[in-house]
Structure 1
Amino acid sequence: MAARVGALKGWRQLLLGLVAGAALGLVQAPWSFPLAFFVALPVIFWLHTGAAAQRRAAAVGWFAGFGYFGLTLVWIVEPFLVDIARHGWMAPFAIFFMAAGLAAFWAAAFWLAPRGKVFALVVLWSTVELARAYVFTGFPWVLLGQGWLETPLIQVVYYIGVHGLGLLTLTGIALLSKLRVRQMLIGSAIFAALWGFGTYRLSQPVIPRTDGFVVRIIQPNVDQKLKWLPEFQAEFFQRQLDLSALDGRHDIVIWPEASVPFLIEERPDLLRVMASSVGSEIIFGARRHDDVGNWYNTLVLLYDGGTRTEVYDKQHLVPFGEYVPFQRILQLTKVSALTGRGWTAGDVSPILSVGETPSFLPLICYEAIFPSLASEVSVPVDWIVQITNDAWFGEFSGPYQHLAQARVRAIEQGKPLARSANTGISALIDPYGRIIDSIPLGRMGVIDVALPAQLPRSFYGRTLDWPITGILLLLTILQLLPVKRRRP
């Protein structure tokens, strides 16, 4: 099989790369089929080995990446369909250029790796996967290691992060793809060890907090097309108040991102209404602006009867969604339809805590996809709170992938994560990434869940991506150095 795949030339070679890349995408949510690793990755390795030249190898990598990202990021068209009359024409361009741009990272690895040197490809592929978490503000969506989420193997990210798991994945399957007994035994041992370690971790009981702190998470399920229409705003606001006031003991209530239709600095009366209706502290998403005209996407912690607030302004904004890079240039083109108002990134400490509420790390929307962002705090916190409006992602793959990444962050940090999403999927996740309770996608509802205790601060939480960066940098240098051959 390896020889036949490696012997392919021309369009057949590139077509198989495209198909193998798409098949590899099946490891991600909502499919969550990790066996695809063992089918797709060997084919991609064999295609690289059989490439006739470095340029051809890069083409194989690009087509594999285009297949992978074209499938996994198909949800990217959804935001353009909310206002289809204005933005619908951009949808096919969005998925094409997003997949093509991310595939370029893979192409670079395939071009740099000497043909036939599968472990050089492993190192460089892992390096570009790490790079896309940071380059151009970063977009670490559907990282390879995340494909193990529904298996015990994902538990190792508590120590080495999702990038480290990605490196082990590529290494193990590269060994298996050699089809030699010794290498296959070593590759199998890697996956067996990861499985055993993860199974042991998952056998550990989840310890409840001694204070019995109960979190209420609401999911209002507001249609994105109606959300900001003036005639519906009062109805949607009241819906959230009613859900929050339902019977049941709770110590705090969490509303989703951008859940109130007013500016918090202009309506203190409505903040008091919220506090009196709910009867506890509230975390909610809002918009606010400062004295110099900057607008912020904000998470608010409301307490003391609605008279006091603590705020966190979103720090990692979505390019072309919340701000537009190169805005002056783009305003000269038809893409100016996307430039809009623009938001300002926050710069305050992300840790929030008042009174009896355990200290927490706030994350707004896609901030949860960044492994390092969930770690960049100097003081340990007890839990993580993510508020989001996943209505932008449609109802197919986007919301499931976003939830999956939040679960990985919980494992990496060893902390429970509470997630309130406008249309779903809202959930309380334990420190091992397991969903304790949730509200299905597209439904209105509320859940009350006792907050689990956190685990000891993880190795990854203390070191971030520095160890894996150092390892990959060293291995990359070693792979790219010329090898002197001994004379016979």
Structure 2
Amino acid sequence: MLFYPSAELSLSRGIGCSVFSFILLFVAMPGLVGGWPLLFIALIPVLYVCLYSAPRNSFLAGMIGGFVYHLATMYWIVIVLGQYGGLPVWISVPALMLLALYMGLYPALFCLLLSRLTGRFWHRERSIAPLVWAAPVLWVGLDYLRSVLFSGFPWLDIGYGLYLHPQLIQAADLGGHHLITFSLVLANGFILAIIDRQRKAVRWNVSMERRLLLYACAFLVFVFGYSYLRYEVVGAQATRALQAKIGLVQGNIDQSLKWSAEAKKRTVEKYISLSEELLKNKDTELIVWPETAVPFYLQNDPLADHVGNFVQRNNVWLLTGTPMYNITGPRQAQYFNAAVLINPSAHVAGTYSKRHLVPFGEYVPLKQVLPFLQPLVVNAGDFTAGDSAAPLSMGSVKPGVLICYESIFPDIARQSVAEGANILVNITNDAWYGRSSAPYQSLAMSVFRSVETKRSLVRAANTGVSGFIDPVGNVWEETAIFTDSAISMYVPVWEKKTVFNRSGWAFGLACFCGMVSVLIFYRNRE
């Protein structure tokens, strides 16, 4: 599909290249296929489009390719809205298409800006080196924008595609997952440049171009070389760190039944029964149950006694997800999606309230300003966001909690570690996704929270995927989805801070600022 046109690339051919590129990217990402080696070449066709198409055609090609990609990647939205949200197909399918259109705007903007800044639509022998470096800055800058705009939805940035190969991603403890994404886009651009430089008309004595391409090569060698060495060094150190025996339970509770009054007792008894299988050797310090594993208010429900008796009888700590409330006035209360740490004496030792709620799932944005949205509260829930990043404490072990999709936001884990967390615990209810690729995509993002902060992560999901992730990103004891599971493992309790913890978290922001600065300079130059 790659060739060197004598005229501007046609719109139809540009769209074809873009769609092909994003199909390769879909095949490379976690979930259905996971052909990760394609990440190093998948973007070459769409970069080629940006090189030889006018900005308007590049925008359309990127929009269509991005729409197709996100439609295929997030098909599980229909399951969430239809099967569990109770919405008819004629609403859930258009909702998926609208979300895919929104997500497709980002690759469309990427193609527009890259074509405008570095394309050859107006100069056939323009150097390709600016494209090689501008592409990763623009891509990551737009990824960062997507992570903060409209409360943020940074779902499955392309760096996450390497999650099964921790030897390649340790540089995330320098600049987060954005640095891995930057490197992959840079690698695609570098390979395109090598192909481009094979043309007979090219003069290799253009010193600036040669130097910029050598810098790109050196950058890639550093990132992946550092990752390999860091994996070996930290992996060995983690085995000598303090170890804590932690168990987790995957209850596999039917999402449509767990909230019914008659099912509450059966749910608690099932979690207790599965947990006691892990406690026969009396060496497990902490048991972790998933998000809302306790489907009632521990503050006033008689079933709370069953939970208290369990921890006292087994002399164990329990961290579980549960709803909580806080009375704020006459007939007024705040409700929280929370995690509660219960000590062996059956006293609450600490609570954490979810800080990043799901829009239209756990709250309705702007409902005070837009009264017509008020009826949605009945279906969506009306939770209040927590405001504390402080970890819970059980002696020398200080778990930082990530509830549900908080694990896709690097800054939430970083803030928890900054407050003193020495392990991370992700409790979630992935039953909403059904038997789809979403639980595996969510796991991929959780792996990077471990690598960025160099903290072990314990992941307890109602229906899976559950498991243990060590500080260098190895996934241990991974469970199958929709199965009853109870597993335990010694996990390293790590205290050291990484560059990401201190300042590397700002890498995505730096790319965004760099993108804006280049655009301002370019416009002023015109």
Q: With structure 1 as the length reference, what TM-score do the two structures score?
A: 0.91
Contact between 1:124 and 1:476, CA under 8 Å: does it hold in 2? no
Match of 2:320 in 1: 284
Deviates further, 358-367 or 325-334: 325-334
Contact between 1:29 and 1:397, CA under 8 Å: does it hold in 2? yes
Secondary structure of the structure 1 residue equivalent to 2:458 = strand
- Equivalent positions of 1:285-434 (< 5 A) are 285-292=321-328, 293-327=333-367, 332=372, 336=376, 339-354=379-394, 356=395, 358-377=397-416, 378-434=418-474
Shift of 1:157: 0.3
Contact between 2:147 and 2:154, CA under 8 Å: does it hold in 1? yes
The aligned amino acid for 1:238 is: E
Change (3 A) 1:253 1:174: same
Distance 1:58 1:236 in 2: 51
Distance 2:437 2:6 in 1: 31
Distance 1:192 1:258 in 2: 45
Distance 2:335 2:479 in 1: 31
The aligned amino acid for 1:217 is: L
Distance 1:252 1:6 in 2: 66
- Equivalent positions of 1:47-58 (< 5 A) are 47-52=49-54, 54-58=55-59
Change (3 A) 1:330 1:112: same
Contact between 1:302 and 1:310, CA under 8 Å: does it hold in 2? yes
Shift of 1:285: 0.3
Change (3 A) 1:294 1:337: closer
The aligned amino acid for 2:96 is: I
Find the partner of 2:311 among 270, 275, 291: 275
Are 1:143 and 2:132 counterparts?
no
Distance 2:232 2:242 in 1: 24
Deviations 1:259-288 (A, max 9, x none): 112201103534422323543010000001
Deviations 1:379-411 (A, max 9, x none): 332100110001111222100011111111000
Secondary structure of the structure 2 residue equivalent to 1:133 = helix
Contact between 2:406 and 2:412, CA under 8 Å: does it hold in 1? yes
Unmatched 5+ stretches in structure 2: 120-129, 199-209
Find the partner of 1:153 among 154, 168, 173: 168
Change (3 A) 1:215 1:467: same
The aligned amino acid for 1:447 is: I
Find the partner of 1:194 among 220, 223, 231: 223
Change (3 A) 1:84 1:366: closer
Shift of 1:251: 0.5
Secondary structure of the structure 2 residue equivalent to 1:342 = coil
Paired-residue identity, %: 26
Shift of 1:471: 4.9
Change (3 A) 1:242 1:4: farther
Distance 1:59 1:131 in 2: 20
Secondary structure of the structure 2 residue equivalent to 1:169 = helix
Match of 1:111 in 2: 112
Shift of 1:328: 6.0
Distance 1:396 1:236 in 2: 24
Q: Matched residue pairs, number? A: 483
Contact between 2:135 and 2:189, CA under 8 Å: does it hold in 1? no
Are 1:265 and 2:299 counterparts?
yes
The aligned amino acid for 1:223 is: D
The aligned amino acid for 1:141 is: W
Match of 2:492 in 1: 452
Shift of 1:335: 8.5
Contact between 2:30 and 2:441, CA under 8 Å: does it hold in 1? yes
Shift of 1:211: 5.2
Contact between 2:315 and 2:344, CA under 8 Å: does it hold in 1? no
Find the partner of 2:40 among 18, 30, 38: 38
The aligned amino acid for 1:266 is: N
Distance 2:415 2:344 in 1: 29
Are 1:167 and 2:182 counterparts?
yes
Contact between 1:283 and 1:302, CA under 8 Å: does it hold in 2? yes
Contact between 1:2 and 1:43, CA under 8 Å: does it hold in 2? no
Secondary structure of the structure 2 residue equivalent to 1:171 = helix
Change (3 A) 1:57 1:410: same
Deviations 1:234-280 (A, max 9, x none): 21210100111122320010000001122011035344223235430
Match of 1:214 in 2: 245
Distance 1:382 1:282 in 2: 17
Distance 2:242 2:40 in 1: 45
Distance 1:441 1:4 in 2: 49
Contact between 2:453 and 2:500, CA under 8 Å: does it hold in 1? yes
Deviates further, 330-339 or 122-131: 330-339
Distance 1:405 1:386 in 2: 11
The aligned amino acid for 1:298 is: A
Change (3 A) 1:84 1:146: closer
Shift of 1:338: 7.1
Deviations 1:260-318 (A, max 9, x none): 12201103534422323543010000001110311100000011421334110000001
Distance 1:19 1:391 in 2: 32
Distance 1:291 1:33 in 2: 51
Question: What do you get for the CA RMSD once the two structures are aligned?
Answer: 2.7
Deviates further, 408-417 or 66-75: 66-75
Distance 1:210 1:153 in 2: 23
Distance 1:229 1:317 in 2: 23
Distance 1:4 1:233 in 2: 66
Shift of 1:189: 5.0
Secondary structure of the structure 2 residue equivalent to 1:265 = coil
Are 1:95 and 2:96 counterparts?
yes
Change (3 A) 1:33 1:372: same
Shift of 1:474: 3.3
Shift of 1:75: 1.8
Distance 1:104 1:285 in 2: 36
The aligned amino acid for 2:435 is: E
The aligned amino acid for 1:24 is: L
Change (3 A) 1:231 1:38: same
Secondary structure of the structure 2 residue equivalent to 1:358 = coil
Unmatched 5+ stretches in structure 1: none
Change (3 A) 1:83 1:386: closer
Contact between 1:330 and 1:336, CA under 8 Å: does it hold in 2? no
Shift of 1:483: 9.1
Secondary structure of the structure 1 residue equivalent to 2:397 = coil
Distance 2:225 2:242 in 1: 33
Shift of 1:87: 4.5
Distance 1:5 1:141 in 2: 39
Shift of 1:320: 1.3
Match of 2:201 in 1: none
Contact between 1:297 and 1:314, CA under 8 Å: does it hold in 2? yes
Q: With structure 2 as the length reference, what TM-score do the two structures score?
A: 0.85
Are 1:470 and 2:470 counterparts?
no
